[in-house]
Amino acid sequence: MKKLTIFFAILISISCAKDTSKEQAAVSTVKEESKAAPALAKEKSHSALPTLYFFINPGGRPCQIQDEILKNSPDLKNHAQLKYISTNVPTDRDMFYKYGVRSLPSLILVDQKDSTLHRFPPGIHQYDVLKQVFDKGVK
């Protein structure tokens, strides 16, 4: 009985270690993407383009799908600057509170003064939906 208990304890600890390594990999990816802007609320953009804040949980599948859509968007760079706001970055929490984001993935388009131009409903959005907003003059 003792051997069986020890076996299950070892099995559970190995399983937990694998899950932790996946989360750490996702966290490191988002940290790399957000290193350039640790205090996004204070950052001033010198570009005339609006900023598209992408509120993301790197370990969540819907957020991963939205991230792939954004990364594969042909001309997103011509319409907006993409900024990641992650649940795994403690300095990003203020942005979640500031914009009242409680559901992920969420996309919010803001101007250079950080005023909201368009708030997309939470969920996965194809690039066509984003492009319609950009083409309408972002209102």
Domains and CATH numbers, the chain: 51-135 (3.40.30.10)
Instruction: Please give the structure tokens belonging to residue 120.
Output: 């997309």
Give every CB contact of residue 80 below 8 A, 6+ residues apart in sequence. 49, 50, 51, 52, 109, 134
Residue labelled with tokens 């970055």: 89
Q: What is the separation, in whole angstroms, between the first and last Cα of the chain?
A: 67
* Token duo for residue 136: 């309408």
Report the pLDDT value the prediction gives residue 108, as an integer from 0 to 100.
98
Mean pLDDT by 10 residues, the chain (139 residues): 53 48 48 46 61 97 98 94 97 96 97 95 96 81
Residue 78, classified by CB atoms within 10 Å of its CB into exposed (0-12), middle (13-18) or buried (19+), is exposed
Using H for helix, E for strand and C for coil, what is the string for 30-93? Answer: HHHHHCCCCCCCCCCCCCCCCEEEEEECCCCHHHHHHHHHHHCCCCHHHHCEEEEEECCCHHHH
Please give the pLDDT value at position 41.
40
Instruction: Report the SS3 class of residue 8.
Output: helix
Q: For residue 92, give both structure tokens.
A: 């990003």
Which pLDDT value is given to residue 138? 61
> Smallest Cα–Cα separation from 101: which of 127, 126, 119?
119
> Which pTM does this prediction carry?
0.67
| Phi, psi values for residue 43, rounded to 5° | -70, 135
